[in-house]
Amino acid sequence: MSDTEISRSGMVPPPEHPPILKPKVGVLLINLGTPAAPTTRAVREYLGEFLSDKRVVEIPAIVWQPLLRGVILNTRPQKSAAAYAEVWTDNGSPLMVYSRRQTEALQQRLGEGVLVDLAMRYGQPSIESRLTAMKQAGCDRILLAPLYPQYSGATTGTANDKAFEVLQAMRWQPAIRTLPAYHDDPAHIDALKRNIEHAIASLDFEPEEIVTSFHGMPLRTLHLGDPYHCQCRKTARLLSEAMGRNLIVSFQSRFGRAKWLEPATDATLEALGKKGVKRIAIVAPGFSVDCLETLEELAIQGREQFEEAGGEKFAYLPCLNASAEGMDMLEKIVRRELAGWV
Ligand SMILES: C=CC1=C(C)c2cc3[nH]c(cc4nc(cc5[nH]c(cc1n2)c(C)c5CCC(=O)O)C(CCC(=O)O)=C4C)c(C)c3C=C
Ligand SMILES: [Fe+2]
Ligand SMILES: [Fe+2]
User: Tens of pLDDT along 287-313?
Assistant: 999 999 999 999 999 999 999 999 999
- Whether 86 and 233 map to the same domain: the answer is no
Q: Which atom of ligand 1 is nearest to the CA of 154?
A: 42
Is residue 136, in this structure, part of any structural domain at all?
yes
Q: Quote ipTM for the complex.
A: 0.96
pTM of the model: 0.93
CA angle at 108 for the pair 116 and 290, rounded to the nearest 5° = 70
Does one domain contain both 198 and 312?
yes
Categorize the per-residue pLDDT at 20 as very low, low, confident or very high, splitting at 50, 70 and 90: low
Closest CA to 50 of 152, 2, 120: 120
pLDDT at 14: 63
Same domain, 104 and 202: no
Same domain, 228 and 297: yes
What is the mean predicted confidence (pLDDT) over 8-37? 79
Cβ–ligand 1 contact at 154 (below 6 Å):
yes
Which CATH number does the domain housing residue 52 bear?
A: 3.40.50.1400
pLDDT recorded at residue 18 = 61
Q: Is residue 2 part of a domain?
A: no
User: 290 exposed, middle or buried (CB, 10 Å; 0-12, 13-18, 19+)?
Assistant: buried
Please indicate whether residue 150, judged by its CB atom, sits closer than 6 Å to ligand 1. Answer: no
Residue 229 labelled as part of a binding site? no
Does 174 lie in the same domain as 55? Answer: yes
Residues 140, 277, single domain; the answer is: no
Residue 133 belongs to domain spanning: 24-182+324-337
The reply to whether 170 and 119 lie within a common domain is yes
Structure confidence at residue 322 as a pLDDT band (50, 70, 90): very high
Q: How much is the pLDDT for 10?
A: 61
88-110 pLDDT, tens per residue? 999 999 999 999 999 999 999 99
**Burial category of 64 from C-beta neighbours within 10 Å (exposed 0-12, middle 13-18, buried 19 and up):** middle
- Is residue 306 domain-shared with residue 197, that is, in the same domain? yes
Q: Measured from the CB, is residue 77 less than 6 Å from ligand 1?
A: no
Same domain (yes/no): 135, 199: no
Residue 26 CA to residue 310 CA, distance in Å, equals 51
Domain annotation covers residue 255? yes
pLDDT value of residue 12: 66
Average pLDDT over every residue of 69-92: 98
Q: Indicate whether 145 and 196 sit together in one domain.
A: no
Nearest protein Cα to ligand 1, atom 30: 47
Answer yes or no: do 154 and 178 share one domain. yes
Number of separate domains in the chain: 2
Contact 61, 54 (CB under 8 A): yes
In a domain, 291, yes or no: yes
Q: What is the pLDDT of residues 236-287, one digit of tens each?
A: 999 999 999 999 999 999 999 999 999 999 999 999 999 999 999 999 999 9
